[in-house]
Amino acid sequence: MVISLFISSLLEAVKKFVKTVCTSMFRDERGVLEPHADLLSVALAVIGFMVLAALMSQTYLGYEDRSFALENYESASLLAKNLAEAPVLKAETSSLLSAAALDELSGP
């Protein structure tokens, strides 16, 4: 009997405490921080997206520059190979190009 009275009074005290805590929690304006946490999350997401976009654009621009340089290198290599194989431009004694023949082709 004494134990049941003690348990019931303990339950009443717990209910009263929980009710006081819940009402003070919902009426206290100092604890409202949820919108600020959302702003921080959105700011981090936007910063991450901007960093990703910058990396993607730099990667694309670097690829474009390298492919342009490779095309020019291939063209210059093909031109040099064709000039080296032309018998008109060869020097008399070796497989080098003749500077005099190149000057005649370039004109005045």
34-60 pLDDT per residue, tens: 666 678 888 899 999 999 999 999 999
Round to whole Å and give the CA distance between 1 and 16: 23
More confident residue, 56 or 103: 56
Q: Which of 30-34, 63-67, 80-84 has the lowest mean pLDDT?
A: 30-34
Round to whole Å and give the CA distance between 101 and 84: 12
Q: What's the mean pLDDT when you consider all of the chain?
A: 78
DSSP secondary structure code for residue 33 in this structure: -
Q: Let me know: does 43 contact 49? Beta carbons within 8 Å.
A: no
